[in-house]
Structure 1
Amino acid sequence: MTTPEPQSPSPDPVSKDRVYRSHMGIAGGVLLLAVALWLGIDALVRGEGRTQWLALAALILIVPLVSAFTLRPAVHANEDRLRIRNPLRVIVLPWGQIASLRSGYSNEVVAKSGTKFQLWAVPVSLRARKKAARRSAQAAAERGTGARDQRGGRGRGGLGLDRLEFGAPVADSEAHGLVRAETDQIVDDLRELLERRENAESAQGEITVRWAYEVVGPAIAGAVLLLILLTMQ
């Protein structure tokens, strides 16, 4: 009687990607594409001769570029790697190859080789940062007022029961009152994932960079055709 061979454990399932995109960028891109298509198609239908060719060349040039800079950018993150889809390139960085993530006037990834890659899908909003700073200051002021109420004996029985019963402000639940702008919070989440996974065996490998030829090719063709038409008498 033969004994069955022990089955090898099934490999760990690949974690699903967290996908980050700019909703404002997508909305702006849809609007720009709608206007470009409306004007271009109108010129193709109603125009004559050279006008139709100019409209066609302009559409071939404009549609890929607008799509690339508004609809295309995305950041995919899982347990093993960070995949950055920028307008003209796709960069895949294993966590083990990333030195840091920086957030200044733009959000970017710094590889251990020193190369920097911008996160087009996670743009910095100075307005959102100022708004978050005001909310943080307001939350800090409310916490300070609550502490004085407890020390001064005000509130229900001087114990601050009104705060305990109805809960602290929403901002207090966010890092003890520290409110972050949405894109800054995304970078914080990516930093946390980097710290947790940078030494993992499955998060090692080489950085790969691929040009988006599906964008570059049509855009170049449209630009060349438009240039030829404009130089023709």
Structure 2
Amino acid sequence: MTTPDHQSPASRPVAPAARDRIYRSPMGLVGGVLVLALVVWLGCDALFRGHGRTPWLALAVLLLVVPLVAAFTLRPAVFAGEERLRVRNPFRMITLPWGELDSFRSGFSNEALATSGTKYQLWAIPVSLRARKRASHKQARAAAEAARGDRGGRRGGGLFGGGASLSAFGTPTPQAAPTGPIRAESDKIMDDLRDLHEKHGQAEHARGEVTVRWAYEILAPAVAGAVLLGVLLVTG
């Protein structure tokens, strides 16, 4: 019995598609869970143990507040794949094929700019000015320490020369300098997205149309809660 040396194209296994990279704010997730737990606890207590109009007011507040808190803390995410970038903001889901993306911009917020000129804010990747300042201080400190090590090594100061350390065999070895710039976490993520755009932006499979879908699952209960709360306040 003989076996074929080559498989036909139809019988060859299809390589699995690469999974999207997912970027979210850990602090936003933690804060959202804590706030939601507090709101639900207080709201349910008023809903089931309150009297008169209190349960209706609690229901209206829950319908209004819970979707909004979830929208701004748990919902935001950025999904980066080989074909497109998906931006899930509090009230919208934007799908941007890499070929329709012009660039990224980082200032007081991180934004994706489409070739049409429309800009979309990346809620899941917030800018932290404090983190940028801290990274800048670390970079300056590392550069100063590396410079002191170089000067000490040239002068031969100390027992084995400044900036040196003992190896496993007791011989002095110079300390390694930082391999790259120290950056804030959000800036590192933006660098990753720029690399993906540069890699896939010209690919044929990264073409398509920019689509925007509103998050009605967030808007509908929030609007219902706002209407109910308004009616209760007016008629009270």
Fold equivalence (TM over 0.5): yes
Query: Does the aligned pair in 1 maintain the 2:163–2:174 contact within 8 Å?
Result: no
Structure 2 residue corresponding to 1:94, chosen from 93, 97, 101? 97
Counterpart Cα distance in 2 of 1:49 and 1:140: 67
The residue type paired with residue 109 of structure 1 is A
Q: 1:7 to 1:39 in 2, by over 3 A?
A: same
Give structure 1 regions of 4+ aligned residues with deviation exceeding 4 angstroms: 8-12, 155-161
Counterpart Cα distance in 2 of 1:160 and 1:71: 47
Query: Does the aligned pair in 1 maintain the 2:113–2:120 contact within 8 Å?
Result: yes
Query: Does the aligned pair in 1 maintain the 2:85–2:96 contact within 8 Å?
Result: yes
Q: How much is the aligned-residue C-alpha RMSD, in angstroms?
A: 2.1
Counterpart Cα distance in 2 of 1:157 and 1:181: 35
Query: Does the aligned pair in 1 maintain the 2:112–2:121 contact within 8 Å?
Result: yes
Counterpart Cα distance in 2 of 1:5 and 1:179: 50
2:171 counterpart of 1:168: no
Q: Deviations over 1:38-96 (max 9, x none)?
A: 11111112211211101101101110110010001011111211111100000111111
| Aligned match of 1:114 | 117
Q: 1:228 to 1:196 in 2, by over 3 A?
A: same
Q: 1:162 is paired with a residue of what secondary structure?
A: strand
Q: 2:212 is paired with a residue of what secondary structure?
A: strand
Query: Does the aligned pair in 1 maintain the 2:149–2:175 contact within 8 Å?
Result: no
- 1:120-131 counterparts in 2 under 5 A? 120-131=123-134
Counterpart Cα distance in 2 of 1:13 and 1:204: 20
Counterpart Cα distance in 2 of 1:69 and 1:194: 26
Query: Does the aligned pair in 1 maintain the 2:91–2:215 contact within 8 Å?
Result: yes
| Aligned match of 1:143 | 146
2:33 counterpart of 1:25: no
Counterpart Cα distance in 2 of 1:54 and 1:85: 31
Q: 1:82 is paired with a residue of what secondary structure?
A: strand
The residue type paired with residue 176 of structure 2 is A
Q: Deviations over 1:157-187 (max 9, x none)?
A: 5596528747526xx13x1xx1100011100
Query: Does the aligned pair in 1 maintain the 2:149–2:162 contact within 8 Å?
Result: no
The residue type paired with residue 212 of structure 1 is A
2:233 counterpart of 1:225: no
| Aligned match of 1:7 | 9
Q: CA deviation at 1:14?
A: 1.6
Query: Does the aligned pair in 2 maintain the 1:156–1:162 contact within 8 Å?
Result: no
The residue type paired with residue 82 of structure 1 is L
Q: 1:224 to 1:147 in 2, by over 3 A?
A: same
Q: Deviations over 1:22-43 (max 9, x none)?
A: 1111111111111111111111
Query: Does the aligned pair in 2 maintain the 1:155–1:161 contact within 8 Å?
Result: no
Structure 2 residue corresponding to 1:201, chosen from 200, 204, 221? 204
| Aligned match of 1:192 | 195
- 1:28-47 counterparts in 2 under 5 A? 28-47=31-50
| Aligned match of 2:169 | none
Structure 2, unpaired ranges of 5+? 167-171
The residue type paired with residue 18 of structure 1 is R
Q: 1:56 to 1:101 in 2, by over 3 A?
A: same
Q: 1:194 to 1:156 in 2, by over 3 A?
A: farther
The residue type paired with residue 128 of structure 2 is S
Q: 1:117 is paired with a residue of what secondary structure?
A: strand
The residue type paired with residue 220 of structure 2 is G
The residue type paired with residue 81 of structure 1 is R
Counterpart Cα distance in 2 of 1:187 and 1:99: 14
Structure 2 residue corresponding to 1:213, chosen from 206, 212, 216? 216
Structure 1, unpaired ranges of 5+? none
Query: Does the aligned pair in 1 maintain the 2:64–2:222 contact within 8 Å?
Result: yes
Q: CA deviation at 1:11?
A: 4.8
